[in-house]
Amino acid sequence: MRHENSRILFAYWERIRSGRQAPRREEIEPSDIRHLLGDTFILDVSDSLRTISYRLAGTRLCAAYGKELKGMGFLVPWDEMECFEISRMLTKVYRDFQPHVLCSLGKTASGKFVKFETIFLPLQPVSNGNFRILGISTPTKTPYWLGAEPITSTTVRSIRPIADLKITVNNNVSIAPEYGSDGHPDNSQLTGNDDQQAAEAIRKVAHLTVHDGGKP
């Protein structure tokens, strides 16, 4: 995890779960993370309906997509070929209680690009048998047009588990290593800032890197 917001939310989740596999939804106090709420979301996973949808979504996140995300399917803006990998990752989050980080590129209709870091943190199942996932999605750098020109599609750059990670936020941050446990590098960040390089990267066919990890 590279973004400070990701590290802060992970540290908060780690604290409130208190050694358990995951905290309960009602243990999350919005006032504790009020400065993160604009980018934070909760997903609702229904096994019976076989759906993954936004239960809640922050205002900045909705503005980035130019619409209210509550109730919308999480997989809607993703490339069809990548939906399987994302669903597989989310299954590990809510069934195996394994947090993950996803790095992606958001694209507008006019061809502008923005890089996002998104983390997914499991919550305890709710009484109706559905699963919930807490997360935050933050641009690595916020372009001037974000919020004015909506993102229409998103493409995965990398998926990796967050494993054996201890974090303190105040001037003593320990983050995930640059290399996964299998020795392969994390390619979640693109080098350079120009849109042409991003465009070339998003056209790659074999671009996906997946590292397997052991109430409102």
Specify if 216 maps to a domain: no
Structural domain contains residue 173: yes
Tally of domains within the chain: 1
Cα 159 to Cα 61: distance, rounded to the nearest angstrom: 20
Q: Is residue 41 part of a domain?
A: yes
- Residue 77, domain member (yes or no): yes
Does any domain span residue 71? yes
Q: Rounded distance, CA 77 to CA 80, Å?
A: 9
Residue 168 confidence (pLDDT) above 70: no
Predicted local distance difference test score (pLDDT) of residue 181: 32
Nearest of 41, 53, 47 to residue 125 by alpha carbon: 47
pLDDT for 210: 41
Taking a C-beta distance cutoff of 8 angstroms, is the pair 29, 141 a contact? no
User: Is 214 part of a structural domain of the chain?
Assistant: no
- Picking from 123, 119, 213, 120, the residue whose alpha carbon sits closest to that of residue 161 is 213
Domain of residue 95 covers 4-202
User: Which tokens in the block code for residue 205?
Assistant: 């066919």
Q: Give the pLDDT score at 206.
A: 37
Radius of gyration in angstroms for the set of CA atoms belonging to the chain, rounded to a whole number = 16
Residue 212 has pLDDT above 90, yes or no: no
Tell whether the model's pLDDT for residue 167 goes beyond 50. Answer: no
106 has which bridge partners?
114, 154
Q: How many residues does the chain have?
A: 216
Q: Given pLDDT bands bounded at 50, 70 and 90, which one contains residue 100?
A: very high
Asked if the structure places residue 209 within a domain, the reply is no
82 within a domain of the structure (yes/no): yes
Decide: 9 and 30 in contact? Cβ < 8 Å.
Answer: no
Q: What is the CATH number of the domain that holds 79?
A: 3.30.450.20
